[in-house]
Structure 1
Amino acid sequence: MDSAKKSIFQLKNYKVKKLDFEKDLKALLQLCENCKDFYELNGIESVNLETAKEIFKELPPGKEYDSKMVIGVYNDKDTLIGIIEGVTDFPENYTWYIGQMMISVDYRNKGLGEEFYRGFEKWAVMNSVNCIKLGVLEENTNGLRFWKRMGFRIIKKIDNFKIGNIETTAFKMENDLK
């Protein structure tokens, strides 16, 4: 079996695999198109192939591609229905940073997001991670509520945060795993 297709952690009714840039770009683009509301919240007006490529390639300063993770969740028809994208050992060692989590519109509000995140969190602990961090825009009230329910707490409020074509308020959040 191709290493990019091996399940990295188990969920009850879904497969979870690391995405491969060459093999999974088209499926990722379809997911991005399905989740246009996520991009609109982030001030991005159109979703295209570059949007999907950026998920694979965007890294914070000083990080290399081997620290990038794009984890996909697949339904029983092997269709990509969600991702968690992030970076390992950022902003410090033993901390993982989630850049984004998207779940297909058809699978929202059915428990998949929580199941996917909880599996990711257990996998992080098995990899000696002490903390997971992320950012949420103030307008993303559903996301903010979701992450609080997952145990994250706001550690910093950032006013005048620029993303895409908007300026807004963002919240840095973290979840201590130790």
Structure 2
Amino acid sequence: MFRYVLIETDEKYSEILALYQRNKDYFALNGTSKLDLVQVDEDVHSGPAHITPENKKYFLLTDDKDRPLGVLDYVLGYPNEATVFIGLFLVDKIFQSQGIGRAIVTEQLTYFRSIGMRKVRLAVLENNPNGLAFWQRLGFEVFEENKQSTDGDLVHVLHYRL
């Protein structure tokens, strides 16, 4: 149903950038107005300093017709060995409200459990009530409110026990 294309080179950057540009409203929530290939590269490669490249994963999500549906970025083993931190999950607005996001997250939770992870953690921008509601509908719980992220944004930190 869904394909997870692991991004390791810049070959798919233009497709990711086009997806970002179709979803400017999402990026505007944290003040990102300049969406370019540099931003894509930063998203693909950025992560906590002590994380090995094998633990940092950035995927272009496509359907069976290779249409880009979204992106998923996560780090295995952060902030502790048994936790996965989702840094970015974006479903293209043209595919939202069709159950695609829920289906992808459900697949990933099953995968994370199968590789021995015990918890999934993520942060939602404080000014993104739709994102917060999405994650809460999937069973994620807020355990820190109005925390300042490493980027200086106010976020709600959520977790899900696998």
Same fold (TM over 0.5): yes
* Runs of 5+ unmatched residues, structure 2: none
Q: Which residue of 2 aligns with 1:175?
A: 160
1:112 has 2:100 as partner: yes
- 2:73 matches 1:91: no
Task: Find the aligned partners of 2:98 and 2:10 in 1 and give their Cα distance.
Answer: 30
Q: Which runs of 5+ in 1 are unaligned?
A: 1-12
Equivalent position of 1:7 in the other structure? none
Q: CA distance change for structure 1 residues 48 and 126 in 2, over 3 Å: closer, same or farther?
A: same
**Deviation of the 1:160 alpha carbon:** 5.5
Give 2:32's aligned residue.
44
| Whole-Å separation in 1 of the counterparts to 2:149 and 2:4 | 33
Instruction: Give, in whole Å, the separation in 2 of the partners of 1:175 and 1:99.
Output: 14
Q: Percent identity?
A: 22
The TM-score, its normalising length taken from structure 1, stands at 0.84
* Partner-residue secondary structure (3-state), 2:51: coil
> What is the distance in 2 between the residues matched to 1:18 and 1:123?
15
Is contact 2:126–2:146 with CA below 8 Å preserved after alignment? no
Give the length in aligned residue pairs: 162
1:142 corresponds, among 130, 135, 154, to 130
Deviation, 1:42, is: 1.2
Distance 1:161 1:133, change over 3 A: closer
- The residue that corresponds to 1:5 in the other structure is none
Corresponding position of 2:57: 69
